[in-house]
C-alpha cells in the first residue's frame, strides 16, 4: 500500500493521491493495485446524518473497505478486539483501510458530513457481526486458529 500515514487499531491510514488546480480546488483518486490491495465491487455512502448520531456498531468477517470523508467531520472509532482507537476524518484526502475484522462506530461530528466506502464485496448480511460479544469471540477464535 502506498502513502501510509500510520495506523488506527491496526488499520492503515493512507494519504489519497490528490491533484490541486490553483484556484479551482482539488481532485482525489485511488486505484486498485496502486493505492489499495483489493478490487472494488461496491461503493456506498452515508449522508444526511444529524450531528451527534453514531452509526456502525458492527464488524465484517471478510469484507475489505476504504473509508473516507469527502465532506464534513466524522469520528471513526475502531476496535480490533485488543485495542480501541479513533481518528477524526475531516480531510477528503485521508482514507482508512479496514482489511481485517474490526469493530467500527462512526460519530457524526458535523451535520451534512458524508462517509464514503469503497468495498471489496457485494452486500452480504452474513458477513456482518452485529454483536460486540460475538465479535470478541470471533477475533479470539481467529487468533487461536493462527497459533
> Of 37, 38, 56, 86, which lies in the binding site for ligand TYD, with binding defined by CB under 6 A?
56
**In this structure, what C-alpha cell is assigned to residue 44?**
456506498
Report the residue number, 3 or 86, with the smaller CB distance to ligand TYD: 86
Q: Does 55 bind ligand TYD (CB under 6 A)?
A: yes
What lies within 8 Å, CB to CB, of 30 at 6+ separation is 14, 16, 17, 36, 66, 95, 118
Stretch that binds ligand TYD, among 15-23, 27-35, 53-61, 77-85 (CB under 6 A): 53-61
Distance CA 91, CA 82 (A): 27
Report the residue number, 2 or 88, with the smaller CB distance to ligand TYD: 88
State yes or no: is 58 an active-site residue: yes
User: DSSP letter at 22?
Assistant: T
Q: Cβ of residue 74: shortest distance to ligand TYD, in angstroms?
A: 11
x/- string (CB under 6 A) for ligand TYD, residues 15-44? ---------------------------x-x
List the catalytic residue out of 58, 61, 75, 110: 58
Catalytic residues: 58
Amino acid at each position: 500500500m502506498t502513502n501510509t500515514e500510520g495506523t488506527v487499531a491496526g488499520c492503515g491510514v493512507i494519504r489519497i493521491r490528490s491533484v490541486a488546480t490553483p484556484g479551482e480546488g482539488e481532485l482525489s483518486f485511488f486505484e486498485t493495485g496502486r493505492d489499495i490491495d483489493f478490487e472494488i465491487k461496491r461503493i456506498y455512502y452515508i449522508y444526511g446524518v444529524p450531528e451527534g448520531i453514531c452509526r456502525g456498531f458492527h464488524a465484517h468477517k471478510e469484507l475489505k473497505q476504504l473509508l473516507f470523508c469527502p465532506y464534513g467531520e466524522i469520528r471513526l472509532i475502531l476496535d480490533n478486539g485488543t485495542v480501541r482507537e479513533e481518528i477524526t476524518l475531516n480531510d477528503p484526502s485521508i482514507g482508512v483501510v479496514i482489511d481485517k475484522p474490526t469493530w467500527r462506530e462512526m460519530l457524526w461530528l458535523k451535520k451534512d458530513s458524508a462517509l464514503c466506502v469503497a468495498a471489496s464485496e457485494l452486500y452480504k448480511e452474513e458477513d456482518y457481526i452485529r454483536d460486540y460479544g460475538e465479535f470478541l469471540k470471533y477475533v479470539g477464535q481467529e487468533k487461536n486458529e493462527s497459533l
